[in-house]
Amino acid sequence: MSAPALRIAVQKSGRLAEKSLELLEAAGFRVMKGANDLLYRVENAPIDILRVRDDDIPTFVGDGVADFGIVGRNVLAETDLGARAPGEAMALGFGRCTLKIAAPTGFKYANPHSLAGLRIATTYPRSLKRFLDAHGVEAEILTMRGAVEVAPRLHLAQAICDLVSTGATLEANGLEAYDTVLESEAVLIRAPKGVQPAFADLAESMLARFRGVSASRGAKYIMMNAPRARLAEITSILPGADAPTITPLAGREDVLAVHAVCQESVFWETLERLKGAGASAILVLPIEKMM
Ligand code: PRT
Ligand code: ZN
């Protein structure tokens, strides 16, 4: 028997596997990739990482076999666990994709009612059914295990409902995307009855660190000198910054130093606009940690 630990279920191999371990590492948990393929340990905290098929993660968490799980929102939405359904604790910002309605190019799609009476192939029958019901559309759902994108060409269905990220798969199959059924990304899910009491504090700290990792990913620290007279204009250009720090510069009455955390991307255009507004010595720095 292993020592008690907080248990997190992650995908063993696939699109989310590596990024899930990277998140734990970025949060300061040193993952030991031991001989046991199904279970990794964390060296510096009592955390066990269960490595499983992504489809099994909601059930593991729902049943309390794991306290947390990292899985695509699309998989969580498709699992029907009733009262045992895990809750989404936080969105993690990777594994982004969209569950879309698609049909052969040239299909006259106006709105969901264009699907009435048709047959739609998908590996996401529950999510599709919810979408159709929400729009009061009656259509036949053909559940497949994979290769949904070939269904129209084989005359198995007139439309499909599938995950799209770059759109290359749709294009290669002569299909075009229309309505969005679900916006997905990797999410942290937690057991409905809460974590094991002995690990409640550890769980809280892990969540706070994950939030910090997610927040710091796109964020930048920006510093510049700004003419006092144009301060309002300059701070209004800063993307996603609340309350910048403004400090005087030694021996300069007319110029101030402006420091701010920008939550959104800082583009070259932003820097050009700042310069245009009189800012100088502009520095943009990555942020490693944030809490
Ligand atoms: O073995 P296991 O069951 O664990 O893995 P899996 O094969 O079921 O899942 P995997 O590893 O393929 O995907 C895991 C999760 O990654 C999914 O549940 C999504 O949340 C997320 N994700 C992000 C994607 C995509 N992007 C994606 N593009 N999952 C699948 N796709 C497929 C899509 O189904 C389609 O066939 O990629 C194709 C489309 O990609 P584009 O780039 O051509 O549009
Ligand atoms: Zn799967």
> Is the beta carbon of 74 within 6 A of some atom in ligand 1?
yes
Q: Over 60: is that where the pLDDT of 201 sits? A: yes
8 Å CB contact between 164 and 101: no
Closest CA to 42 of 13, 10, 71: 10
CA 13 to ligand 2 centroid distance, Å: 10
Predicted TM-score (pTM) of the model is 0.88
What stretch of H or E contains 164?
strand 159-164
| Domains of the chain with bracketed CATH | 6-93+186-216 (3.40.190.10), 97-184 (3.40.190.10), 220-286 (3.30.70.120)
Q: Which ligand is nearest to the CA of 18?
A: 1
8 Å CB contact between 67 and 8: yes
Which tens digits make up the pLDDT trace of 42-56?
999 999 999 999 999
* % residues pLDDT > 70 (the chain): 99
Q: Which atom of ligand 1 is nearest the CA belonging to 148?
A: 36
Closest CA to 19 of 215, 212, 220, 210: 210
Average pLDDT across the chain, whole number: 94
Residue 232 has a pLDDT of 93
Within 8 A by CB and 6+ apart from 207, the residues are 89, 90, 188
CA 53 to ligand 2 centroid distance, Å: 6
Model confidence at 36, pLDDT cuts 50, 70, 90, reads: confident
By most ligand atoms within 8 Å of CB, the mutation choice from 13, 19, 54 for ligand 1 is 54
Q: Which ligand is nearest to the CA of 124?
A: 1
